[in-house]
Amino acid sequence: MSDLVERLKKTADAVDLLDSGSRYTLSMRNATKAILTEAADALSLIEAERDKLRVPEGYVLVPREPTEAMIEAGVHAGVTAAPMPWCPITYRAMLAAIHPTDNDHGDGR
C-alpha cells in the first residue's frame, strides 16, 4: 500500500474524530469519509494494475517495428547476415520469440 493510500485511509478514519459541534454535520462527515474511502480503494486498484505493467528487471521496452535509426545502427554494427529488407522481418521474429502466442508463427508474419 502506498503512502498516499495509507494517508487517505487515515484521513477517512479521522473524519469520525471531528467535533460534533463543528461546522460539519453528520451527513457531511459521512459523505467525506465515503469519498476518502472510495478514493483510497480506487487508488489501490490503480496501483495494483500499474504494478502488473512494470517492465521486468533486465528488460527494456522496444518499438514493435524497428525504426530507421535502429536499422541503420544494425548496419553500422556490421550485421551483414541479413540483407536490409530482411532486417525488419528478423527483428519481428526476434520479438515474437520473447512471448509467443497462439497466433504467432515466429517468423515475423
Contact between 38 and 71 (Cβ < 8 Å):
no
pLDDT digits (tens, 9 = 90+) for 60-80: 888 888 888 887 777 777 656
Cα–Cα distance, 95 to 88 (Å, whole number): 10
Asked if residue 61 lies in contact with residue 74, where contact means CB atoms within 8 angstroms, the answer is no
Whole-model pTM?
0.46
- Looking at residue 19, its pLDDT comes to 66
In this prediction, residue 106 carries a pLDDT of 46
So what's the pLDDT on residue 84? 60
**Tens digits of residue pLDDT in 79-105:** 565 556 667 777 778 777 876 555 544
Amino acid identity at 39: A
Instruction: Give the model's pLDDT for residue 109.
Output: 45
Question: pLDDT by residue (tens digit) across 40-59?
Answer: 999 999 988 888 888 888 88
Residue 66: its pLDDT value, please? 81
